[in-house]
Each structure stands twice: as structure tokens, then as C-alpha cells.
Structure 1
Amino acid sequence: MTNPSLDAYQQVFGMAGLANRAGGYNGFGIQLQQQLQYDLSYYFNNVPPVKIMHQKTPSTADPAVLSELGSWDLVWGPALIEEKNEKGVFTGVADNALYVVKSNAVAFPGGPTLPTYVVAIAATNPSSLYDWETEDFSVSEVVNWTTYNPSDFAPSAYNGTDPYISKGTATGISILLGLESPNSAASPNTTLQQFLAGLNPEPGTAIIFCGHSLAGALSPTLALYLKENKYLNAFGVTLVYPTAGPTPGEAAFANLFNSKFPPLPPGWQPQTGTYQSWNTMHWNDLDVVPHAWPVSELEKIATIYGQATTNMTPYILQTLQKVAVDDSSKSGASYTRIQNQSLPGQLQHSSGSSATIKTPPESLQDYMLQLAVQHVAMYNGIPAAGSNPQVNGLILPQPLPKPDVINLVPGVTPVTESEMIIKIISQILDWIFSHYTLVEKESVSQNIVADK
């Protein structure tokens, strides 16, 4: 087989995106897990059959995928969790997801060709209030990394010396390490740690942790935890490729990560592409999410797409910015990015659904549509649609191929782009509401009505 058209960085980024597929559906946890497993069977070899979808044998990746992504085998998972809300009712969405694949030969730009495992972690599910509240937005309290135990931890006062991570990041790592591959998935009934401990990889084998958005914070943190606890000693090379992530911790934590994960292994040659560096968080400079949580970056988000001009949208955005700054500052820890590389964003005037986006934003919807495009589509590329030309992505030129028809597991329903935008707006407004008095809630509510 010829070499895939995507380089190793792009392959890994593409696989992080595939972990997010479960976020595009509603359903019960077992149904969502089966749907994700079924979806992955188009992209990877040896995905165990999903019997309810009439699959009888392990999968063979589609030729269109092999030509771009190369040949990968699913070796663990996929595993996901459907959490319960504060009333004890299941959320009906995938709140976190994870899978592991392996290739026998990955050609690393500027480096050798190695057997490689990739641990792909799902991003924030826009429909998951649990993700937003307990992982993304939970930054006002911090957890001491030097004493962090994923199965039993609590926030503590910041002492100004030790490395600290946000309570949300600590919660996310705890959830990922608690996931078990289901009976019908790859390496069934094992956690990620048990799976890694049971491997006997060839000398020099690489392992890469990747994830976008929320997983852009979780992937470097999970890799550091497993490395410090000696679960990765059998691997010759350990790498991380996080994208669009909020900041997981403060300066001492960032320094610790940077010291353990240099941008290139010894002897590897640097590359020229802005997206081509390992152990580095890559982010679109017009993406709001990676502006969290350093205060100096949060202070840019209200006007990142220009000064809003109509109704009361500027007030809502300034309120959002103030809430974010207040939460980031509350613990006294100064959130600091791990080593990172910005990518040059480009404002868009329509979304994938062809909805018009006014710039500067005239409404909250304009702002959120631009945010969604910059946070997802600009990394993956935007296909031509109608009179709108193709836009090449900052990492992938264009999105990975998809099946002509998306078949759904019984009980699973798809989530449309417009529904996701509405969810994002709702979650952010709920977050603002939770910080302000009833009078201010009413004021914001009136502004929303005006925007509509």
C-alpha cells in the first residue's frame, strides 16, 4: 500500500476528531457506545462487530480512509460514559469517550518509522451540561498535582509553589481512568491502565495522546499522569498532540509538563508547518476556547470577532468575559498554557449549514456561529458549498471522508448543527446566570429576546 496522504500529525488529529463522533448523537449510554463503535468500523481495521447493526466479522477500513489516514487497528474500546444529572437522571448523551488504535508503521516527519499506538480522547460534547459544568467551567478551585489521586481527590488552597490543575481537569482525568472497554468492544473489561500494563510493545514503539477542545486539556494531563506513574515505561517514545484546549493548570504545572515532554525527541528534525510539532498545544488564534484560562487571554474574548454593534449583545459578551476572568482568578493560581503554537485563523461569513454570520457580530447567534466555525471547522477544513469556496483547514486540508449513508443504532438520534449551536448558547448563558443575581438574570434574558 502507498503512503497515506496525511502526515503523522494530521492522522493523529483526525483520530482525535473521530473520538468526538459520539457527541453528534442522543441516546442511552449503551446505544451511544455501539454507535461510536459502528462509526469507527468505517475508519479502522479489526473493530469488533456491532451485532445489532448486522455486522458479523471484525471491520476492514474503507479504501477512501486508507488512502488518507493509513492502516490502523482498533485495540481498546471505544468506551464512553453517560453521566447522571443533579436529579440522578441519565443525561442521554456521551459525556466522555476514549479509544486506542495501533499502526505497525507510522512515518514521523523528521523522525523514524515506528509502530505506534494512539490514545484518542473525545472533546466537550456541546449537549453535555455535565461536561460544561464539571470539567470545562470548573476552574475556580484547584487540585495539588503532587498529591493528586484520580480515585480520591479534593480541591485545596493554592500554595504558590507546587504544580496545580483545575478541579475540572482533575475530574476529567478521573473519569477517563475509570472507563472500561465494554464486553463487545476491543480488549473488553479492561481500563486503559490495565490495557497499557498488559502490553509488550516492540522496542522503540511510540504512543501518542491526542484530543481537541476539552481533550486538548485532558490529553497532556493524562499523558503526564501515566508517565509519572510508570505506565508508559515500555514505550520508546511518548508524545502528545493536543489542539484547541483550555489551559489545564497553572505555571508550575505547565513547566513540569514542558520539562517531561520536549517538542521533539532527541535526533528528530523540526518541521516547517505551523501544526507540525509534538507535545505542543496548537490553537487557532480566533478560537475562543483556547483563550481560557489565562486572564490576559480571557480579556480578549468579548471583542475577538469585532465589537458587537446592535441590541445588547456587547453587554452579554462582556458579562461572559467578566465571569470567565473572575472564575479564573478566584483560586489565586495563574493559569498558564503548556508550550503552544498559535495558528492563523480567518473570519468566516457562513457556517457549514450555510447560515450567514455577520462580522462584527450583530447578535449572540453571530458570535456563537463564528465561535463554532473557528473551534471546529477551521481546524478540519470547510468544503465548498454553493457560492462559498472551499476553505483549507489549519491542520487537515479537508474533513476526513464519511460514509455515503450514516446508519443509526436503534434508539440513537442525530444532533444537527443548529441544535449544537443552541446548546452551546444555552450552556454558556446558564453559566452566566449561575454567577449573577435574579435582577441581572432578567436583564440578560431581555437582551436575548431583543437579539431574537
Structure 2
Amino acid sequence: MTEYQQTFLLSMLSNQAPELVNQPFPENLDLIQQDAEQLMESQFLASIPERLTAMGGFATLEWGPAIFIDPSDIQEDTKTKTYNATATNTMAVFSTGSTGVYTIAIAGTKATSIFDEKTEDAKVGVLVDWAYGVPVEQPVLKPRISTGTNDGLGVLLSLPDPKTGVNLATYLSTLASGTVITITGHSLGGGLAPALSLALFGAASNISPSLLKQGLLPQVYATAGPDIGNKDYVTYLSGTFKATTPPPANKYEQYNCKIWNSLDVVPHAWSPAFLSQIKSIYKSYGMDTPGYVGGVIDAVSADIKAHNYDPLPYNPYYSLDDALNGQFPGKFQPLDSFPSDSFINYNCNNNCNANVDVCNFVTEMLFQHIDAYFNELQIPFQAPANKMDACAITQKLDPL
């Protein structure tokens, strides 16, 4: 297994925090968020050794898993005095025995997380100033990122290790000079991973300046992430983490470059260079983008323009990979031959109380966002016990 395959598997492992279902209320209901986070961390921690063994035993957990659960991701039932909860943000650090690399894995969007969809993923209309330092030799740079990414980044930087209580920056300060640090994430994690890397290791980082003198060797492996910042953010990021030049034949075999599938909807957001392509992304394969989805794109675009004047309304988002150096050609998956071993349960039939066209689009979108990356990286996988339900996700997304 290559280092890129190992990194991707650790990235996907960070997404496996268990759902909490019908958990009894704590004695003090005001502590329900803390109760849920501690319980979920404990359950996830207990499952990780077996999961790592199943992946080939190439890695060891070193820090975390640290989990944040926003109150909106906790559903209380006052009649039964129970609650359900899903992870909002999850992060863990692993070491790889054969290479000595430490991997910071950041979870992406969970289909059941309301906060991710409505805040970290979709809160893009307003950009905020980069809060973690700008190089003094480049005073004209004014990096800005989406409010949602800024919120998520703040969560990650403050997460404590459940055992020691130390945050990520403090933990990293204990590693030896020359240690390679790979920061990775997929989807939402693919947007957060570069931002976290820049916050920790950017030339003007104000998180922990001692990290910059420690001799650590950071690199980014971000897959399927949206574009979350303006041109100055991309300039600062690409100047700090330089991509492989020229790009390799296998696009996924490189660091410090956005790795993305040409048929994946998510990485087409939010830069204007690619956002409009979503409206016709599968058209050449006979699948139209539903009017509902196009309406969402128009609404988000209008929201972005309404909050950004220079002096006219415009979209300030800038692509991390406008040259397509990290984009690999996607392979459309016909729904009439949908694989049984997919991560997605394709069930867009008459029993699904959702628009069939939207459900079919969501199914293809999910396949291209998850399965296609395993296929491209040539990582064999078995159908998970709990698949992503295309019908249920369509029903959940439709009202957003």
C-alpha cells in the first residue's frame, strides 16, 4: 500500500465516529453536550484498534479522537428522556510505523449533521479576515475565508485530546525535529485541512510560533474539498505549501495540491470558475441537474454577491486548482448497473418519498464524492454495514 493510499484511508477513518441513538439524558441536562462528546469519543476510541487492524495495521493512534458536537446535532426526546447525536467535527492523529509520518486526519461532512450542511459547508456568503497571521513581507495580502470554514477551524484548534486534555498545537510541540506531518481530510475535511495547515505552519502563524522553529515538515493531502477562500488566501497557502511540479501521471500521488474528481460536485464549489459547471455536470451522460439543485446554486451565488462588493457584487472565491493539476477524470456510474458494494444505498424508487430526479442526482453525486476516490486510488473496499441512504439524504437535503 502506498503512502497516499494509507493517508486517504486514515482520512476516511476519521469519519467513522458512531452515531448515538436513544441515549438516556444525563442527570444534569445542561451537560448533555459534554455527555454526548465524551460518550462518542469513548465508543470511537474503543473501535479504532480493530479498524486499524482491518486496514492492514500500518498506523497507530497517537492523539484523539477528539470530537465536537454542536447543540444542533443533538436531538432530545423529552417524552422518553433520551437523545440522539452525531459528530459535528472529528480529528485524530496517527503515526505510521514504516515511514515515521504523523497524520492529522480531519473528518468531512456527515450526512446526518445539520451543522455541517447549514454552517460549515453552506455558510459561504460572508467571508471573514484570516485570523492567524499574515507574513510581514507581504503586507498587501488580505486573506479571507468563508465564515463556515473559520468556525470549523476555530473548533479544530480548540479540541482537547480526551485523555490528556492538550490541544493539537500543544501535542505537535512534543514531536521531534524532522518529523513529517501530513494534514489530510476529505470533503469538508478537504477544505479544513489546508486551512488548519496554514493556521499552524504558515510563516506568520500566531497559534504557536515555536512550532515554526521546531523543524517539523508539514504537508497537505486534501481530497474532494470545496474552495473556501479568496485569491490572497490561495496565494498565501500555495506559497507556504508548494505543489509538485510538474504534476505526476497519477494525479492523486502528490501533496499540497487539491485532489479532486472531475465529476464530483463538492470541489466545484465555491469559486466562480467551476461553480456554474454543476448545473450541467452530468448532462453529457443523459442526467440533468435538477432545477432544485440549480436553484440552490443560484441562491448561494446571490448570497455571496450580496455580501461582497468591489465595488460591484462579485464572487471572491478562488480555486485552489484552477490549472486542474490535481483533477482526475471521473467515470460516470450508470444507475441501472449501480454496484451492490457501493457506500451508497441506491433506493430512489416509488417507495421513496422524494423527487426521483433529485434522488437519482444525489445518488450519482454521492458515488462520485466517495466511491470514485477509492476506485481512483485503487483501494479495494467492502460494502459497509451502514450504507448512506440516498432516499433519506435526498429527503433531508430537499428542505435546505
TM range, smaller chain: 0.7 to 0.9
Change (3 A) 1:379 1:301: same
Q: Are 2:202 and 1:217 aligned? A: no
Q: Are 2:231 and 1:251 aligned? A: yes
Question: 5 Å matches for 1:80-95?
Answer: 80-85=67-72, 92-95=85-88
8 Å Cα contact 2:346-2:391 kept in structure 1: no
Question: 5 Å matches for 1:304-315?
Answer: 304-306=281-283, 314-315=290-291
The answer for unaligned runs of 5 or more in structure 2 is 24-35, 77-82, 134-139, 309-314, 350-354
Change (3 A) 1:210 1:309: closer
Aligned-residue offset at 1:86: 9.6
Which position in structure 2 is the counterpart of 1:15? 10
Range with bigger deviation, 341-350 or 327-336: 327-336
Aligned-residue offset at 1:215: 0.5
CA–CA distance in structure 2, aligned partners of residues 270 and 304 of structure 1: 24
8 Å Cα contact 1:307-1:314 kept in structure 2: no
Q: Are 2:292 and 1:292 aligned? A: no
The answer for unaligned runs of 5 or more in structure 1 is 1-5, 45-61, 107-114, 150-159, 381-392, 407-414, 432-452
| Higher RCO, 1 vs 2 (CA within 8 Å, ≥6 residues apart) | 1
Change (3 A) 1:294 1:427: farther
Question: 5 Å matches for 1:24-35?
Answer: 26=21, 28-35=36-43
Question: 5 Å matches for 1:30-429?
Answer: 30-44=38-52, 62=53, 65-66=55-56, 71-85=58-72, 92-106=85-99, 115-145=100-130, 147-148=131-132, 162-183=142-163, 188-197=164-173, 199-201=174-176, 203-228=177-202, 229=205, 230=209, 231-264=211-244, 271-306=248-283, 314-332=290-308, 333-339=315-321, 341-348=326-333, 349=335, 350=338, 352=342, 355=346, 363-380=357-374, 393-399=375-381, 416-418=387-389, 421-422=390-391, 424-429=393-398
Aligned-residue offset at 1:91: 6.5
Which position in structure 1 is the counterpart of 2:312? none
CA–CA distance in structure 1, aligned partners of residues 275 and 170 of structure 2: 39
Structure 2 length normalisation: TM-score?
Answer: 0.78
AA of the residue aligned to 1:124: T
- Percent of pairs identical after alignment? 27
Aligned-residue offset at 1:282: 0.5
CA–CA distance in structure 2, aligned partners of residues 304 and 133 of structure 1: 23
Aligned-residue offset at 1:177: 1.1
Aligned length: 349
8 Å Cα contact 2:283-2:289 kept in structure 1: no
What's the RMSD between the two structures over aligned residues? Answer: 3.1
Aligned-residue offset at 1:417: 2.0
Aligned-residue offset at 1:232: 4.9
Aligned-residue offset at 1:189: 1.2
AA of the residue aligned to 2:319: R
CA–CA distance in structure 2, aligned partners of residues 343 and 270 of structure 1: 11
AA of the residue aligned to 2:89: N
SS at match of 1:42: helix
8 Å Cα contact 1:132-1:427 kept in structure 2: no
AA of the residue aligned to 2:42: Q
Q: Deviations over 1:268-314 (max 9, x none)?
A: 9964311111011101111111111012312121221228989x973
